[in-house]
């Protein structure tokens, strides 16, 4: 599933390809991909607009348009945005195509049909409830500690809650907790100030490293040009790709299910009992 590093990579690589381009038409291979407004209004209002900017909020891509509206795309589990020439052979699983004025096409590929698109007057109507961005200067260790105070739930699902913090998904939660030496089932409120500082540092370092490696092509993630990311080659535990043994201590990596999400960790480096 594309998480913050993957969506940030797409934004960085897609922006120079679409900024300033006029949308000349829309083709839909699956009508369910449009969540708002109606299909007829979506196509009519989007056609003729110029893309004036592109930004990321959490796992969402927000295209600023010449009308002042925003086109918002969420890739969900298996989505990718690919830029191709109109003459290129059509690929499988293309659910929507934005035709551009330079003969290129922005193709929304989504094998499992979970992706979504909105055309709205105010982007906050879609992304307004998201938590803070973890890579901003304003997201400090103190802010993290304050948001976790009195939270008795396990730390892993809290990190996955997009209303708590925006952009972190299953892979990078596991990697961050491993880096910080924190068991995924530890109650959030039980973390010491030292552990919170380690977790804050780990979150930022793990995310920045993944962005520098252009995201993780674990399943269906492709960059706009069709290239793969390489961040998964650096995983220590996440997604079962980090090997069978902890790279620090050699202990076998364990897998448990936390709130229906497969979770990988080292039982020695991340003890459930912090006194061990």
Q: Which of 2, 5, 154, 224 does the annotation list as catalytic?
A: 2
Q: Of the candidates 242, 218, 243, which has an alpha carbon nearest to the alpha carbon of residue 1? A: 218
Phi and psi at residue 71, to the nearest 5°? -95, 120
55 part of the active site: no
Sheet strands side by side (includes 23-28): 23-28, 94-100, 104-109, 80-85
Q: Of the candidates 178, 198, 155, 156, which has an alpha carbon nearest to the alpha carbon of residue 243? A: 178
2 part of the active site: yes
184 part of the active site: no
Pairwise CA distance, residues 117 & 260, whole Å: 26
Helices 193-212 + 170-180 axis angle, to 10: 130
Name 235's Cβ contacts closer than 8 Å, sequence gap at least 6.
171, 175, 216, 241, 242
261 part of the active site: yes
How many helices (H) and strands (E) are present in the chain, helices listed first? Answer: 7, 11
Pairwise CA distance, residues 127 & 133, whole Å: 12
Q: Is the peptide bond before 37 cis (omega within 30 degrees of 0)?
A: yes
Q: Which of 3, 8, 105, 175 does the annotation list as catalytic?
A: 3
* CA 117, chain centre distance (Å): 15
Q: Are 59 and 162 within 8 A, CB to CB?
A: yes
Q: Which of 59, 104, 109, 156 does the annotation list as catalytic?
A: 59
Q: Which of 261, 268, 271, 274 does the annotation list as catalytic?
A: 261
Active site residues: 2-3, 59, 261
């Amino acid at each position: 599933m594309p998480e913050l590093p993957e969506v940030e990579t797409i934004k960085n690589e897609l922006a120079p390809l679409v900024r300033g381009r006029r949308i000349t038409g829309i083709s839909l291979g699956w009508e369910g991909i449009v969540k708002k407004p109606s299909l007829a209004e979506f196509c009519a209002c989007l056609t003729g607009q110029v893309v004036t900017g592109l930004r990321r909020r959490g796992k969402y891509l927000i295209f600023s348009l010449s009308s002042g509206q925003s086109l918002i795309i969420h890739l969900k589990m298996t989505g990718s945005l690919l830029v191709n020439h109109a003459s290129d052979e059509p690929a499988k699983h293309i659910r929507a195509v934005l035709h551009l004025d330079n003969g290129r096409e922005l193709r929304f590929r989504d094998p499992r049909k979970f992706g979504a698109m909105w055309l709205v007057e105010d982007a906050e109507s879609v992304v307004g409830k998201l938590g803070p961005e973890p890579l901003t200067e304003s997201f400090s260790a103190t802010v993290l500690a304050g948001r976790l105070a009195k939270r008795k739930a396990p730390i892993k699902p809290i990190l996955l809650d997009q209303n708590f913090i925006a952009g972190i998904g299953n892979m990078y939660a596991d990697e961050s907790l491993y880096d910080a030496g924190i068991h995924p089932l530890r109650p959030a409120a039980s973390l010491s100030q030292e552990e919170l500082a380690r977790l804050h540092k780990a979150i930022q370092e793990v995310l920045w490293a993944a962005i520098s490696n252009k995201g993780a092509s674990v399943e269906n993630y492709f960059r706009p040009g069709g290239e793969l990311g390489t961040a998964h080659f650096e995983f220590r535990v996440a997604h079962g790709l980090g090997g069978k043994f902890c790279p620090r201590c050699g202990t076998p990596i364990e897998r448990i299910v936390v709130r229906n999400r497969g979770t990988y960790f080292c039982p020695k480096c991340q003890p459930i009992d912090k006194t061990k």
